[in-house]
Amino acid sequence: MLKPLRVVQYVNQFFGQLGGEEKAFVEPHVKEGPVGLGLATQKELGDGGQVVATVICGDNYVGEHLEEAIDIMIELMRPYKPDLVIAGPAFNAGRYGMAAGALCQAVQERLGIPAVTGMYNENPGVGLYREKVYIIETGSTSKNLPEIIHRMAKLGIKLVNKERVGKPREEGYFSHGFLVNELSDKKAPERAVDMLLAQFRGEPIEPELKLATFDQVKPAPAVKKLNEANIALVTDGGLVPQGNPDKLEWMAATKYVTIDISERDHLKGGEFYANHTGYDTSEVNDDPMRLVPLDVLRELEARGVVRKLNPTLYSTTGVATTIEYSQKIGSALAERLKADGVDAVILTST
């Protein structure tokens, strides 16, 4: 009888049941057995495996100390002699996804064992780590968590047992970006004609090669004379007036809002706050100019370093916002900025 698989799982502070953003600076530490999300993994493994330990680290800590955090987590895992590491899933949480991808790569390289994670297709961790790490595709939220855990565990067990891993669409992971030759009973022209006829019939088709597409953005020319420039402030940190009168979403934004700063030299806590679920907003709520440096721009304006500060501040929320809405918001903002006669933008983020 084969011995049970030894699994170590990495989770963030939320899935480790420590709390939300108030616990995002928690340093890496380990707990015996399954914790939080690990309980679902243990249920999926059944008698075939055991979650021997759970490594927990806050999103802000790992985001600000990535290399150090990965080093610590690797050493925390070593004594448990895992056969497999499962990271996340991170869904659409960017800091979590970046950490999960980096950890999986480090586990494979330093511990010499398989690692699997899971992310939403717009998580930045996908683009950075999909070529080196198996990343199961998830939705943007944990709605289908049992199915995601099932696919992660199933793929991880295959990797441990050195079994053949199927195509991305069969196993549910993001393509690693390389081509594998396969024999077909039809020649290429026949397959192409079959796909064309299927399109005419309105039937779904699956191309044999999926080409990546990327926007090509030409950098704008430098501002030649700042003392003749109209400078605008834009933020994706979710800054809104108290009460959020325009109902800006705190995640998955579909719009931007405007704030009149024509008569303001400062932005005060209590009058403005950050309506954003992706970071600890307490410091911005205490002093909004930590996010939007209005006071500094007013000083530069008074000294003549810039000609003027645009009287409208534009704000949106940059967490879990889809590419489609990001493009829509960006295009709309560009039109407004052009109409304002803006020469350059200072875009502040979290």
- Per-residue model confidence as pLDDT tens digits over 87-117: 999 998 888 999 999 999 999 999 999 999 9
Count of domains forming the chain: 2
Q: Is residue 199 part of a domain?
A: no
Confidence grade of residue 2 (pLDDT, cut at 50, 70, 90): low
Range of the domain at 239: 226-348
Does residue 185 register a pLDDT over 60? yes
Phi, psi of 78, rounded to the nearest 5 degrees: -50, -50
Least confident of 111-120, 139-148, 207-216, 333-342: 207-216
Mean pLDDT of the chain: 92
Say if residue 83 is in the same domain as residue 162: yes
Least confident of 174-188, 196-210, 242-256, 333-347: 174-188
Say if residue 91 is in the same domain as residue 161: yes
Strands 272-274, 344-348: pairing kind: unpaired
What average pLDDT does the segment 44-61 reach?
94
Say if residue 107 is in the same domain as residue 232: no
Predicted TM-score (pTM) of the model is: 0.66
The percentage of the chain sitting over the pLDDT mark of 90, rounded to a whole number, equals: 73
C-alpha–C-alpha distance, residues 106 and 100, integer Å: 10
Say if residue 259 is in the same domain as residue 147: no
Say if residue 19 is in the same domain as residue 120: yes
Q: Is residue 200 part of a domain?
A: no
Strands 134-138, 115-120: pairing kind: parallel
Amino acid at 229: A
Query: Where a domain ends, among 171, 187, 210?
Result: 171
Say if residue 108 is in the same domain as residue 9: yes
Query: Where a domain ends, among 143, 171, 199?
Result: 171
What average pLDDT does the segment 276-288 reach?
93
Reduce the DSSP state of residue 260 to 3 states and report it. Answer: strand
Return the pLDDT at 1. Answer: 39
Say if residue 55 is in the same domain as residue 128: yes
Say if residue 132 is in the same domain as residue 236: no
Reduce the DSSP state of residue 32 to 3 states and report it. Answer: strand
Does residue 210 register a pLDDT over 70? no
For 12, half-sphere exposure in the C-beta direction (CA atoms, 13 angstrom radius) is 27
The CATH number of residue 71's host domain is 3.40.50.2300
